[in-house]
């Protein structure tokens, strides 16, 4: 069996770099990892077990606040929700950046 070393190479810029930043921010629990400042990431763990109406009201604010720390993001809008399973929530929204707009989603257990 041949073991291949993993390598990180290349770089991205423009819209693709913003998409990567959005993914990373929305998948990093705020105030959890000492390598990140207290402003980086999103606070979601305290929403688990809460009423779905409360989560739907709170989530757009938290997503917007987390993403607007990135200077390349102008606004976040058009939030919609879907509950495909009993304890799952999918939040879809539009990210408007200096490189254009794109659709994004955040899925979480509640």
Give the tens place of pLDDT for each residue, 37-89.
989 999 999 999 899 999 999 999 999 999 999 999 999 999 999 998 878 99
Token pair in block for residue 11: 């770089």
Write down the pLDDT at residue 96: 98
How are strands ordered across the β-sheet holding 100-109?
Answer: 73-82, 88-97, 100-109
Neighbours of 36 (CB within 10 A): 15
At residue 5, the pLDDT reads 54
Q: Which H or E element spans position 100?
A: strand 100-109
Read off the pTM: 0.86
């Amino acid at each position: 069996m041949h073991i291949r070393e993993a390598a990180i190479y290349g770089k991205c810029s423009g819209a693709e770099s913003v998409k990567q930043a959005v993914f990373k921010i929305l998948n990093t629990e705020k105030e959890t990892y000492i390598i990140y400042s207290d402003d980086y990431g999103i606070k979601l763990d305290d929403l688990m077990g809460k009423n779905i109406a409360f989560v739907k009201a709170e989530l757009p604010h938290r997503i917007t606040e987390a993403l607007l720390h990135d200077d390349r993001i102008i606004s976040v809008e058009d939030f919609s929700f879907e509950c495909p399973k009993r304890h799952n929530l999918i939040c879809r929204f539009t990210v408007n950046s200096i490189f254009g707009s794109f659709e994004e989603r955040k899925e979480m257990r509640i």
